[in-house]
C-alpha cells in the first residue's frame, strides 16, 4: 500500500474511533458519513435536541478516543445482506437511507471496533494501535446539509486532523496558525482592500487600494497576452437563451446561471465566455490562413454558486478570468498548447511560483462525447506539447472534460498549500456543426470545424489576487503593491519638500503618497508599515532637502537597512524593481 493510501486508511479508521467516542459521550446521536480528507477526516452527526454540542467538547472527545485506541481493538469486516444491514442499523436513519439507495447487487460490508458498528466499504487498519494517539486533533465544527441538499436536515460536521507522526501534526498546526494570520479576508479588512456585503453574497466591493492592485494585475496579464499574439475582445454580459441552448450550457449548466427575461425572451448572465468567442469567429468567412486565432477576453462572469460554498474573494459569484480561446486546426494543437505552457511558466515565475509547479493531465472520461480516434489525437497532441515545454505531468485517468482532455496547473504557495489555477482544454464539440457550427475553409477548399482551446493562466483574477495576498502576507511585490512609496516629512516645515518628492515619483510612474497631516512622524511610519505594508518609506528633513535626496526605510520583511539615495537614484532603483517585476523590494 502506498504511503498516501496507508495514511488515508489510518485517517478513515480514526474517523470511526471519533464516531464511537461521540456516541459514548452523547448517547442517542445519529451518525451519517465520515470520510478521510486531505489532512484528516470529518464525520457528520445529528445530536439529540437536548444536547448543545460545541468545540468546547473536543477535549473530552479526544480523551475518549485515546482511551479507545489504547484498548487495541481489531477492526472486524463483515459482509451482510441488505435485509441484515437494515436490521443492524434500524435506529440510524441516515444509514438506513444509504442502504435503501444501494443497488440490489451491491456487496454490503460493515466494520466493527470495540462496541461501534459502521456501514463502510473500508479499508481500515487491522487494529486501533495502528492509529497514533498523539497524531490527531479535532479542529472545528461546521454545518452540513445531509447529502449536500439544502432541503434536507442540517447536520453537525466535526473536522479533525490526523497524521502518522505527532511532529507532522505539530508542523501542520503551525502552518494553520500562519495561514490564519495571512487570511486574505482578515488582511483585506486591515489593509482596506475590499469588503463583502452579506446582503449581496459572492460579490466584491473593491476599495481604492485593492482595486489598484486588481487593475495592476489585469494590466500585467493584458500586456503579456498581447505580446504573445492574442487579440483582446469583449462580449456581452447578457446573452439569449437560444445561444446557451446551442452551446449546451442551458441543458447542462442552467442551475448555475442567473436568468432574466425581456420582451418575452429569456436571457442569461454569462457564466463563461466561450460562446461569445465563437460568435465573433462566426461573423465572417474564415480561412485556414486565419488560424490560429487567439482571442483573449477579461470577461466578467457570474455563476449562481450556493452561498454556503462562498469564501472571501477566493470563491465568489462574480469574477473575471484571464480567459482566452484559441481557434486552430488539428495540426496546430501541439504548438499552441506548448506556446501556452511557456507563457504560463513565465508568468508564474514573475510571482515566484515556478519552482514547484504541478501539472496534471486529465484523460478521456467514461461519459465522453466524440470518437476514440479524436480523443487519442487530442491526448497525443497534449503530451507532445508538454514535452516541448519541458513539463513533467501526472496522469489523472478519466478526469477530462466530457468534450476533451485537459491540463491543469497547480502552484504551491509560501505555506506549501496547493492551488489549481491555470488550465488548457481541447474542445472539438463547441465549434462543431452540432453546436455553434464554426467553420473555416481549408487548403483543400473544403469546410472544416476548427478545434477550440479554452485556456487561462491565472484563472479568476479575484481568486489569484487572494492567493497572492496570503502568499505574501499582504506585502506584495513592489510592482503590484497599491502604494509603492510613502513620503514622510520629519516635521511640517518639510511638507513642501515632501510634496515635491511625491510629485516627482508620481511623474515617474511610481504609486506614491505624501503624508502631510499633523500626526507625528513615528505614528505615520507605524501606520504605513503595519497597515499599508508599503515597500519604501521615504523620510525627508533638512539634510535631504539640502541634498535633494531621500532616506529610504525598506519594508521590514526585506531585511535591508535604511539607505540614503539622491532623488534620481531612488527613482531609477524603484523603476528597475517595478519594470523587472522583482519579487524582492
Q: Annotated binding site for Zn(2+): which residue ranges?
A: 274, 325, 454
**C-alpha distance from residue 246 to each of 279, 435, 448 (Å):** 12, 5, 19
Answer for the pair 471, 224: CB distance below 8 angstroms, yes or no.
no
Tell me how far apart the alpha carbons of residues 504 and 484 are, in angstroms, rounded to a whole number: 13
Secondary element (H or E) of residue 59: helix 58-70
Tell me how far apart the alpha carbons of residues 336 and 230 are, in angstroms, rounded to a whole number: 12
**What is the bridge-based pairing of β-strands 154-162 and 194-196?**
unpaired
Give the count of alpha carbons within 13 A of 554, CB side only: 17
Closest CA to 376 of 363, 395, 366: 363
List 286, 325, 481, 524, catalytic entry: 325
Residue 321 is among the residues annotated as catalytic for this protein: yes
Going through 47-99 in order, the beta strands assigned E by DSSP cover 76-80
Tell me how far apart the alpha carbons of residues 341 and 349 are, in angstroms, rounded to a whole number: 12
Q: Which residues contact 521 (CB under 8 A, 6 or more apart)?
A: 488, 489, 490, 491, 539
Closest CA to 292 of 233, 334, 344, 346: 334
Q: Which residues contact 103 (CB under 8 A, 6 or more apart)?
A: none
Q: 10 Å Cβ neighbour count for 541?
A: 17
Widest pairwise Cα distance in the chain: 93
Q: Cis peptide leading into 123, omega within 30 of 0? A: yes
Q: Which residues contact 327 (CB under 8 A, 6 or more apart)?
A: 277, 278, 281, 291, 292, 293, 295, 431, 438, 440, 450, 451, 452
Query: Would you list which residues are annotated within the binding site?
Result: 274, 325, 454
Answer for the pair 465, 336: CB distance below 8 angstroms, yes or no.
no
Query: What 8-state DSSP symbol labels residue 401?
Result: B
Answer for the pair 120, 16: CB distance below 8 angstroms, yes or no.
yes
SS (H, E, C) 109-178: EEEEECCEEEECCCCCCCEHHHCCCCCEEEEEEEEEEHHHCCCCCEEEEEEEEECCCHHHHHHHHHHHHH
List 323, 427, 429, 481, catalytic entry: 323
Answer for the pair 30, 93: CB distance below 8 angstroms, yes or no.
yes
User: Quick check: helix, strand or coil at residue 354?
Assistant: coil
Residue 323 is among the residues annotated as catalytic for this protein: yes
Residue 406 is among the residues annotated as catalytic for this protein: yes
Specify burial of residue 457 (Cβ count, 10 A radius: 0-12, 13-18, 19+): buried
Residue 90 is among the residues annotated as catalytic for this protein: no
List 14, 120, 162, 274, catalytic entry: 274
Secondary element (H or E) of residue 267: strand 265-269
List 92, 113, 321, 484, catalytic entry: 321
**What is the bridge-based pairing of β-strands 451-460 and 318-328?**
antiparallel
Residue 137 is among the residues annotated as catalytic for this protein: no
Length of the chain: 585
For the record, the C-alpha cell of 187 comes out as 488582511
Task: Cite the active site residues.
Answer: 274, 303, 321, 323, 325, 406, 454
Amino acid at each position: 500500500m502506498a504511503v498516501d493510501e496507508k495514511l488515508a486508511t489510518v485517517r478513515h479508521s480514526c474517523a470511526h474511533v471519533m464516531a464511537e467516542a461521540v456516541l459514548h459521550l452523547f448517547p442517542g446521536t445519529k451518525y451519517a458519513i465520515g470520510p478521510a480528507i486531505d489532512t484528516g477526516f470529518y464525520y457528520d452527526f445529528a445530536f439529540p435536541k437536548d444536547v448543545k454540542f460545541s468545540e468546547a467538547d473536543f477535549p473530552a472527545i479526544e480523551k475518549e478516543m485515546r482511551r479507545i485506541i489504547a484498548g487495541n481493538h481489531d477492526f472486524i469486516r463483515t459482509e451482510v445482506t441488505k435485509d441484515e444491514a437494515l436490521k443492524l442499523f434500524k435506529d440510524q436513519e441516515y444509514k438506513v437511507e444509504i442502504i435503501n439507495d444501494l443497488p440490489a447487487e451491491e456487496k454490503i460490508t460493515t466494520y466493527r471496533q470495540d462496541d461501534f458498528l459502521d456501514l463502510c466499504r473500508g479499508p481500515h487498519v487491522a487494529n486501533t494501535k495502528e492509529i497514533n494517539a498523539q497524531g490527531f486533533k479535532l479542529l472545528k465544527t461546521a454545518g452540513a446539509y445531509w447529502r449536500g441538499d439544502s432541503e434536507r436536515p442540517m447536520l453537525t460536521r466535526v473536522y479533525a486532523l490526523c497524521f502518522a507522526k505527532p511532529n507532522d501534526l505539530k508542523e501542520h498546526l503551525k502552518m494553520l496558525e500562519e495561514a490564519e494570520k495571512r487570511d486574505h479576508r482578515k488582511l483585506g479588512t486591515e489593509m482596506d482592500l475590499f469588503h463583502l456585503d452579506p446582503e449581496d453574497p459572492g460579490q466584491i466591493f473593491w476599495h481604492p487600494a485593492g482595486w489598484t492592485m486588481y487593475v495592476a494585475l489585469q494590466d500585467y496579464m493584458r500586456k503579456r497576452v498581447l505580446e504573445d499574439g492574442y487579440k483582446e475582445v469583449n462580449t456581452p454580459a447578457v446573452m439569449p437563451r437560444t445561444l446557451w441552448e446551442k452551446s449546451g450550457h442551458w441543458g447542462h449548466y442552467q442551475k448555475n446561471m442567473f436568468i432574466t427575461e425581456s420582451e418575452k425572451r429569456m436571457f442569461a448572465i454569462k457564466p463563461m465566455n466561450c460562446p461569445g468567442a465563437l460568435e465573433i469567429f462566426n461573423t465572417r468567412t474564415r480561412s485556414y490562413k486565419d488560424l490560429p486565432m487567439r482571442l483573449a477576453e477579461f470577461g466578467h462572469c457570474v455563476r449562481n454558486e450556493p452561498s454556503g460554498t462562498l469564501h472571501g474573494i477566493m470563491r465568489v459569484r462574480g469574477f473575471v478570468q484571464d480567459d482566452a480561446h484559441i481557434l486552430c486546426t488539428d495540426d496546430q494543437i501541439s504548438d499552441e498548447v506548448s506556446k501556452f505552457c511557456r507563457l504560463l511558466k513565465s508568468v508564474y515565475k514573475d510571482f515566484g511560483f515556478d519552482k514547484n509547479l504541478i501539472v496534471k493531465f486529465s484523460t478521456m472520461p467514461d461519459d465522453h462525447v466524440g470518437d476514440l480516434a479524436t480523443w487519442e489525437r487530442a491526448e497525443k497532441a497534449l503530451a507532445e506539447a508538454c514535452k516541448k515545454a519541458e513539463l513533467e505531468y501526472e496522469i489523472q485517468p478519466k478526469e477530462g472534460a466530457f468534450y476533451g482532455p485537459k491540463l491543469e496547473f497547480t502552484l504551491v504557495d509560501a505555506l506549501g498549500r496547493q492551488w489549481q489555477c491555470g488550465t488548457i482544454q481541447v474542445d472539438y464539440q463547441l465549434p462543431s456543426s452540432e453546436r455553434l457550427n464554426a467553420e473555416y475553409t481549408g487548403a483543400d477548399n473544403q469546410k472544416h470545424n476548427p478545434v477550440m482551446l479554452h485556456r487561462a493562466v491565472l484563472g479568476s483574477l479575484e481568486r489569484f489576487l487572494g492567493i497572492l495576498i496570503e502568499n505574501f502576507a499582504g506585502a506584495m511585490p513592489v510592482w503590484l503593491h497599491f502604494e509603492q512609496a510613502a513620503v514622510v516629512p520629519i516635521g511640517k516645515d518639510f511638507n513642501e519638500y515632501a510634496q515635491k518628492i511625491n510629485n516627482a515619483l508620481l511623474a515617474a510612474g511610481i504609486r506614491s503618497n505624501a503624508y502631510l497631516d499633523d500626526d507625528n512622524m513615528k505614528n505615520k511610519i507605524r501606520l504605513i508599515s503595519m497597515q499599508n505594508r508599503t515597500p519604501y518609506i521615504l523620510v525627508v528633513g533638512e539634510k535631504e532637502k539640502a541634498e535633494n535626496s531621500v532616506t529610504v526605510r525598506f519594508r521590514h520583511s526585506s531585511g535591508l537597512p535604511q539607505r540614503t539615495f539622491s532623488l534620481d537614484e531612488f527613482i531609477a532603483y524603484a523603476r528597475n524593481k517595478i519594470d523587472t517585476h522583482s519579487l524582492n523590494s
